[in-house]
């Protein structure tokens, strides 16, 4: 298979929609990372997503839709979920909600769970493709399962070239880490994955702290596997000088690759996966990547979550 690279103009959007309607897969840019999109109503397309990524079948997928109205046709919203959607959609927020009967989603999307993960992306190319396709798209990150997420079209091609129909090249992703995942239910709202919307912003809206459950044995939402987002080199966190390691720094004067010379967490989040890829290329097989401490607040929570999973022992 030859993977087409499409420009995000009307012709490219139309070609991408045609590939999706035929059951094929298209990598598309979102504000967070590139997603590997397939028709969420097609069992064959969803199975092809799992196969292309080598993704475990127990790990559910996020369904991307064009609007809150489209999301409400698939999931059961309560007042808190609607408040969150009004505040943060379109944007880097995913809500895990009870799946509606008759939603028409392929069984593989929810990995056997009674819930569905829903997101309305803000990226104009993603919105244009959703509009042209006219239906829900299942779209996990467009990379081999467990590896570093893609924030540029070339990252997608590095990992999935020759295995998917096309990639829509929308340039670098602005946010750079995946969406925040919330699970409203049981009288509280759980932070299932920190991401592009800081937990502090959600808590300010709700007026109550988020529940932070431990990672379950089986994922309730994407991004909960202990080892994930991993480069091939070994990652050491909160590191000082590690002999022979490729260093990733943060803040003014940091040596080596630097997530943000200005010490800006938004800049660091946008750069994270691209810098991890560069460090991995420099470290080489059997190498070590040493990462400086990252402040554990705001977007730093999401950055540290990704780094912790990148450094976890590999299965």
Least confident of 96-105, 220-229, 240-249: 220-229
**What was the pLDDT predicted at 226?**
63
**Percent of residues, the chain, with pLDDT higher than 70:** 96
Domains and CATH numbers, the chain: 4-206 (3.90.870.10), 234-311 (no CATH)
**What was the pLDDT predicted at 260?**
96
Token output for 65: 């839709």
In this model, does residue 228 exceed pLDDT 80?
no
d(Cα 250, Cα 263) in Å, to the nearest integer?
A: 6
In this model, does residue 246 exceed pLDDT 90?
yes
Residue with tokens 């022992």: 313
For 128-154, the pLDDT digits (tens) are 999 999 999 999 999 999 899 999 999
Mean pLDDT of 215-224: 66
In this model, does residue 78 exceed pLDDT 80?
yes
Least confident of 57-61, 217-221, 258-262, 281-285: 217-221
Averaged confidence pLDDT in the chain: 93
**What was the pLDDT predicted at 216?**
66
Q: How far is CA 7 from CA 14, 27, 112, 170, 270, in A?
A: 10, 12, 36, 7, 22
For 147-196, the pLDDT digits (tens) are 999 999 999 999 999 999 999 999 999 999 999 999 977 778 999 999 99
The C-alpha angle 142, 221, 78, rounded to 5 degrees, equals 120
pLDDT classification of 123: cutoffs 50, 70, 90: very high
For 255-284, the pLDDT digits (tens) are 789 999 999 999 999 999 999 999 999 999
């Amino acid at each position: 298979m030859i993977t087409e690279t499409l420009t995000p103009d009307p012709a490219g959007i139309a070609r991408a929609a045609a590939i999706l309607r035929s059951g094929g897969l298209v990598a598309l840019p979102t504000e967070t990372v590139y997603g590997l999109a397939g028709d969420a109503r097609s069992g064959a397309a969803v199975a092809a997503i799992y196969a292309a990524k080598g993704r475990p079948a127990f790990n559910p997928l996020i369904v991307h839709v064009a609007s809150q109205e489209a999301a409400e046709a698939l999931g059961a919203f309560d007042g808190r979920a609607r408040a969150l959607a009004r505040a943060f959609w379109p944007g880097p927020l995913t809500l895990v909600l009870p799946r509606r009967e008759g939603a028409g989603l392929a069984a593989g999307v929810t990995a056997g769970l009674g819930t569905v993960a829903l997101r309305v992306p803000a990226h104009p190319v993603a919105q244009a493709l959703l509009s042209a396709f006219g239906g829900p798209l299942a779209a996990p990150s467009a990379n081999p399962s467990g590896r570093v997420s893609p924030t540029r079209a070339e990252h997608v091609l590095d990992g999935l070239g020759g295995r998917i129909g096309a990639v829509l090249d929308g340039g670098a992703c602005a946010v750079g880490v995946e969406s925040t995942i919330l699970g409203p239910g049981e009288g509280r709202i759980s932070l299932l994955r920190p991401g592009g919307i800081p937990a502090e912003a959600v808590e300010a809206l709700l007026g109550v702290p988020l529940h932070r459950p431990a990672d379950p044995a089986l994922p309730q939402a994407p991004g909960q596997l202990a080892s994930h987002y991993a480069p091939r080199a070994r990652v050491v966190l909160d590191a000082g000088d590690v002999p022979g390691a490729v260093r990733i720094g943060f803040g003014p004067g940091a040596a080596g690759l630097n997530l943000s010379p200005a010490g800006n967490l938004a800049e660091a989040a946008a750069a994270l996966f691209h810098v991890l890829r560069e460090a991995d290329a420099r470290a080489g097989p059997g190498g070590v990547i040493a990462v400086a401490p990252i402040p554990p607040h705001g977007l730093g929570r999401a950055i540290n979550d990704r780094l912790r999973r990148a450094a976890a022992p590999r299965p």
